[in-house]
Amino acid sequence: MNKSSYFKRNLPKILISVLILAVLIYIAFFWSNQEIKRRLPIKFEEQVKTYSRVYELDEYLVYSIICAESGFDTDAQSHVGAKGLMQLMPETASWLNEKYKLNIDATNLFDAETNIMLGCCYLSYLMERFDNDVSLVLAAYNGGEGNVKKWLNNDNYSIDGKTLKHIPYEETRNYVKKVSTYYKIYKEIYS
């Protein structure tokens, strides 16, 4: 039997196999994207878009932080007292309110609008302090601005005083990795 007759005789089987494979690939891609979107959702879109623009932030970074900090739970509260979607400390919220003369009720951190506005304001402040270096900003958001400055001035953690080669706090190190991963996925899936 020659190749041509074999191909003609098996063409329907080949086409069905290719079609089944294409459907399986589509389903795998569709379901995996749906699962990712379920785990990394877009919520509070109006507030995130508004305050990301106001404070010149990438909205996907804000979503990544909210997802990591609270899982989009407006009532989230940490054991140390951080509150709301972006897990702000009441002292930080009050400081931001005074520093930037925001004239809002900074004690209402369980309100999505208030929390996202103050969280974005704080992120913008950290972006300015750390020359838009997202890794340093995330480290400061989690571990504290003062700690990051100390680490940058310590040869054990920074070679050049501008970047960190090592974050000594395991929680902060893991936080930076987690939010950075979320950020990459948010940008890939939603943009």
CA distance 191 to 181: 15
Q: DSSP characters for 96-128?
A: HHHHTT--S-TT-TTSHHHHHHHHHHHHHHHHH
pLDDT of 186 above 80: yes
184 CA to centre of own chain: 8
Q: Looking at residue 27, what is its pLDDT?
A: 53
pLDDT at 70 over 80: yes
Return the pLDDT at 69.
98
Q: What is the mean pLDDT of residues 140-148?
A: 98
Does residue 42 carry a pLDDT above 90?
yes
- Average the pLDDT over each of 24-33, 59-68, 119-128 and give the range with the smallest value: 24-33
**Residue 69 a catalytic site member:** yes
CB 86 within 8 A of CB 115: yes
- In 3D space, the residue among 143, 180, 191 whose CA is nearest the CA of residue 64 turns out to be 180
CA distances (Å), origin 165, targets 124, 148, 159: 23, 12, 7
Q: How far apart are CA 186 and CA 65, in angstroms?
A: 11
The helix or strand, by DSSP H or E, that contains position 48, with its residue range, turns out to be: helix 45-54
* Residue-level pLDDT at 2: 60
How confident is the model over 28-43, as a mean pLDDT?
81
The per-residue pLDDT for range 165-181, each reduced to its tens digit, is 999 999 999 999 999 99
Among residues 45, 46, 69, 145, the one annotated as catalytic is 69
pLDDT band at 4 (very low <50, low <70, confident <90, very high): low
pLDDT tops 70 at residue 163: yes
Residue 163 makes CB contacts below 8 A (sequence gap 6+) with 133, 135, 136, 152
Condensed to tens digits (0 to 9), the pLDDT of residues 119-137 reads 999 999 999 999 999 999 9
Indicate if the pLDDT at residue 1 is higher than 60: no
